[in-house]
Amino acid sequence: MSDEQFNLFTDTKQTSSPLAHRVRPLTVDHFFGQEKTLHKIDKLNLTNLPHIIFWGPPGCGKTTIAKILAKMAKYEFYTFNAVLGGVNDLRKIIKECLSTKETTGSKSIIFIDEIHRFNKGQQDALLPYLESGDFILLGATTESPNTSLNKAILSRVQCWPLNPLDESAIATLIQHTSETEDLALDPEVSKFLVKHSNGDARSTLNQLETLIINKEKIRELTPKQIIKDYLFSQRRYDKNQDRHYDVISAFIKSVRGSDANAAILWLAVMLDGGEDIEFIARRLIVLASEDVGNADPRALQVATSAHYGIKNIGMPEARIILAQATTYLANAPKSNASYLAIDRALEFIKENSTVEVPTHLRNHHPDKKKYKYSHSFENHWVSQIYEKTQETFYESSKLGYEKMQDDYLNRIKN
């Protein structure tokens, strides 16, 4: 590989800057990964750029792509962080863009990082300028634009999704950076970085920088010692985005499917990610009624006891309580009969007029004397009409304790 091909990065002489900043690529030719996005850029008319929101996880190249695009189009590039700046700061930048357009006739690009942090008022402040095309808006967000941006903004921008970088792109990044920074990287260490990168280039480069800073110290260490003492595994989790909902969904479905092993795995993922333990316990309470029900009435007791326990114990011991409740519910016989019954009854109520109470069941009515007191009869049961809809709402699953209940009722009724 030629020396020219190694010169892929910006600010290589600024050794005081973080490695991830120093090696940020300047051109699409040297951007690793995101082939679909690069293909879209190749098809763009650079003299008439659209407003674009880049949406993807941290470290996937959103800011880098925006800067490369601005350089290709040869537009003035202004950056704004939605966390650090307010509307007044943004208006100052917009004023500069309008001045540039008036004096040179050329548009500018405003890149808004973490644009999902803008509230409705801040987003609305952009609308007239986007409508008239006074500047080009490029934005970056880790949250779905469909939920974090208002409809007026969405109708004026293109949303480009970016994915976590694949292992091939991460491997290429590690190789080129190691060679550029004169770091002799053992293949086992490189493999660990690739495998545990979680598709995050910035985080991978931060770990690589640790090795570069300590390259004299690690020279005599084995790969296993380097991994143990200097590196760590990247694991992605969030508490209110897709990963949060995907993992809890897998957890609930594993318990419902009676796979205790899978359920424990997903529980561990949530605990490792810092998930709210009360949220997990609440979901187990719902599951105990929805999916286990009266097939094992003790399931609800276990779940509610677990909720009480973890509130009073806390982590790390709470993990044991949650594990017990999870495995109990996973291994319990399953029935959603109660869940289906109440939904059928509610649907019936909504589709019909007021359901009248039979006169012999009313609190005050002459016919109340016709009510038959169950405990006065053999087996504490007597045939009696309790509602007149003639609809069947509850159907036993004939599993677990529900089967025992069926057998008991059949015995006393016959």
Q: What is the DSSP string of 95-163?
A: HHHHHHHHHHS--EEEEEETGGG--HHHHHTTHHHHHHTSSEEEEEESS-HHHHS-HHHHTTSEEEE-P
Give the mean pLDDT of the chain: 86
Q: Grade residue 235 by pLDDT with cuts at 50, 70 and 90.
A: low
Q: Grade residue 128 by pLDDT with cuts at 50, 70 and 90.
A: confident
Q: Is 319 exposed, middle or buried (0-12, 13-18, 19+ CB in 10 A)?
A: middle
Q: How far is CA 91 from its chain centroid? A: 33
Q: Grade residue 9 by pLDDT with cuts at 50, 70 and 90.
A: very low
pLDDT of residue 15: 55
Please state, in angstroms and rounded to a whole number, the distance separating the CA atoms of residues 279 and 298.
21
| Percentage with pLDDT > 90 across the chain | 30
pLDDT digits (tens, 9 = 90+) for 358-381: 888 888 888 888 988 888 888 888
Candidates 33, 35, 27, 22; CA nearest to 4 is 27
| Average pLDDT value for residue range 234-246 | 67
Q: Which of 198-212, 232-246, 286-300, 369-383 has the lowest mean pLDDT?
A: 232-246
pLDDT of residue 32: 85
pLDDT digits (tens, 9 = 90+) for 46-103: 888 899 999 988 889 999 999 999 888 888 898 888 877 777 788 888 888 888 888 8
DSSP string, 296-329: STHHHHHHHHHHHHHHHH-TTTHHHHHHHHHHHH
pLDDT digits (tens, 9 = 90+) for 131-154: 888 889 999 998 888 888 888 889
> How long, in residues, is the chain?
414
Q: Is a pLDDT exceeding 50 seen at residue 331?
A: yes
Contact 58, 142 (CB under 8 A): yes
Q: How far is CA 311 from its chain centroid? A: 25
Residue found by looking up tokens 């880790």 in the block? 142
Residue 182 DSSP one-character state: T
Tokens of 235: 């694991």
Rounded to whole angstroms, the maximal C-alpha distance in the chain is 102
User: Reduced to 3 DSSP states, what percent helix, strand and coil does the chain have, rounded to the nearest 5?
Assistant: 60, 5, 35
Q: Is a pLDDT exceeding 70 seen at residue 290?
A: yes
pLDDT digits (tens, 9 = 90+) for 242-288: 778 889 999 999 999 999 999 999 999 999 888 889 999 999 999 99
pLDDT of residue 347: 92
pLDDT of residue 8: 40
pLDDT of residue 2: 35
